[in-house]
Amino acid sequence: MKVLIVGSGGRESCLVWKVKQSPLVDEIYIAPGNAGTALLGRNLDIKADDLQSLLGFAKTEKVDLTVVGPEIPLVAGIVDLFEQEGLKVFGPRKDLARLEGSKVFAKELMKKYGVPTADFKVFSKASEAKDYIRKKEAPLVVKADGLAAGKGVVVCKTSDEAFAAVDLIMVEKQFGSSGEKIVIEDCLEGQEASILVFSDGETIVPLVSSQDHKRVFDSDQGPNTGGMGAYSPAPIVNKDVFDKIITEVFKPLIFGLKKEQKIFKGILYAGLMIKDNQMNVLEFNVRFGDPETQAVLPKLKTDLVEVILAIVGGRLSTVNLEWDERFCVCVVLASGGYPGSYRKGKAISGLESLRNCRDIFIFHAGTKQDSQGNFLTDGGRVLNVVGLADTIEETQAKVYKAIENISFENMHYRKDIANKALKFLAR
Ligand code: AMP
Ligand code: GLY
């Protein structure tokens, strides 16, 4: 079969790598992809948010299955569009992609179905939001309702910071119409983790837990990024917490929606704050996480294409996931300056030396190849170096040793990915 993968990051490289292992797959197209995906399939000159061109390609080439990486096409309704044309596509329709596309929608659904989440209020007027901040004690979290490339959430330690966040989102309209409404919620403490589940609306099949590292520098210092690394499993999600997340978060939500004739098909990602075995949902995403996917899919032994086809066909109950029990660590190598401004086009060396390294995987993100075949940097997050091994320490050592082989000008990366897992276990 022919599979089209939409997106161009580390997550999509990992999806291509995993999909390629399926005996069901003959050809893979990636729109638009990166230098790494070009080694495994055919990159297309179509942007991930150009829905009409994606549809045109899928129809002309008779693509059998489309897998969407990023949120923008999902929220824009790519699934509805493809389904109307009789094409198979993996992900929720537009009405349920709002779980990620609108924080107000997600919070109100959580309230409706009793899913644990921070107390909140919704505002569409800056003056009323500020009155609320005056009455409430900081810290507070101010969130733009719509998509804002991960930048629409401000954790405010003081009321002044919260006023400034309201001004930024609602008055200066930093995120355009995404900031017409805001959510102000209580600030939660604890450690974050990500739990993703596959669902066809009837059956819920969880993936193994993982943890992202959003801040740019070690010990969670510096500004937020798209994610500087991840590991799986996250020991903070012990069996008790894991079971609670399934019964108190995913089941009420997915089965509640089903009662309303809204069938969630795809992957649902809950970002959670966990403390003393209690958890609260911070956010939902309706897609694979980046970089969590790069730390989770290498552990999946089951054919991903079979799983996706079962979801699209509404027969997920027939699927049983098998997992590699080993630990997985993903470290992101970023361009100097990221998440601020950075230069592109720096030569990357050392990739060849890792090509046949056992249980080490390199997933490209912001990369391109020049006419001589050299790999160059082409984005903020450039490469993901991923390793599998029996213990956390062994996995960290293996990945960081592999990284010593790779270099590009001003390359930077966190040196402490998965330290939190060690610290949690030693507590
Ligand atoms: P979100 O996109 O809603 O997950 O928010 C992005 C990040 O902001 C999360 O990963 C947390 O680090 C932080 N955050 C969001 N909501 C809260 C909250 N209620 N309390 C503390 N931190 C939060
Ligand atoms: N790792 C965060 C995200 O995928 O949104």
Burial 297-336 (b: 16+ CB within 10 A, else e): bbbbeebbbebbbbbbeeebeebeeeeeebbbbbbbbbbb
Task: Taking residues 101-127, report their average pLDDT.
Answer: 97
Reported as a pLDDT band with limits 50, 70 and 90, residue 355 is confident
300 DSSP assignment: B
Q: Which helix (H) or strand (E) holds 361?
A: strand 360-364
Give me ligand 2 centre to Cα 127, in Å: 31
Please say whether the beta carbons of 422 and 393 come within 8 A.
yes
Give me ligand 2 centre to Cα 128, in Å: 31
Give me ligand 1 centre to Cα 153, in Å: 7
Query: All domains of the chain, ordered by start, with CATH?
Result: 2-93 (3.40.50.20), 119-186 (3.30.1490.20), 191-318 (3.30.470.20), 327-426 (3.90.600.10)
Q: What percent of the chain has pLDDT over 70?
A: 100
- Residues 286-332 have pLDDT tens digits of 999 999 999 999 999 999 999 999 999 999 999 999 999 999 999 99
Q: Out of 100, 194, 283, give the residue to mutate to test ligand 2, the one with the largest number of ligand atoms within 8 Å of its CB.
A: 194
Q: What percent of the chain has pLDDT over 90?
A: 98
Would you say the CB of residue 100 lies under 6 angstroms from ligand 2?
Answer: no
Task: Taking residues 211-216, report their average pLDDT.
Answer: 96
Residue with tokens 């704050």: 273
The verdict on pTM exceeding 0.85 is yes
CA distances from 290 to 48, 183, 194, 394 (A): 15, 24, 11, 23
Please say whether the beta carbons of 54 and 46 come within 8 A.
yes
Residue with tokens 């837990």: 209
- Residues 230-289 have pLDDT tens digits of 999 999 999 999 999 999 999 999 999 999 999 999 999 999 999 999 999 999 999 999
Give me ligand 1 centre to Cα 397, in Å: 30
- Residues 62-111 have pLDDT tens digits of 999 999 999 999 999 999 999 999 999 999 999 999 999 999 999 999 99
Closest CA to 87 of 75, 79, 96, 97: 79
d(CA 34, CA 295): 19
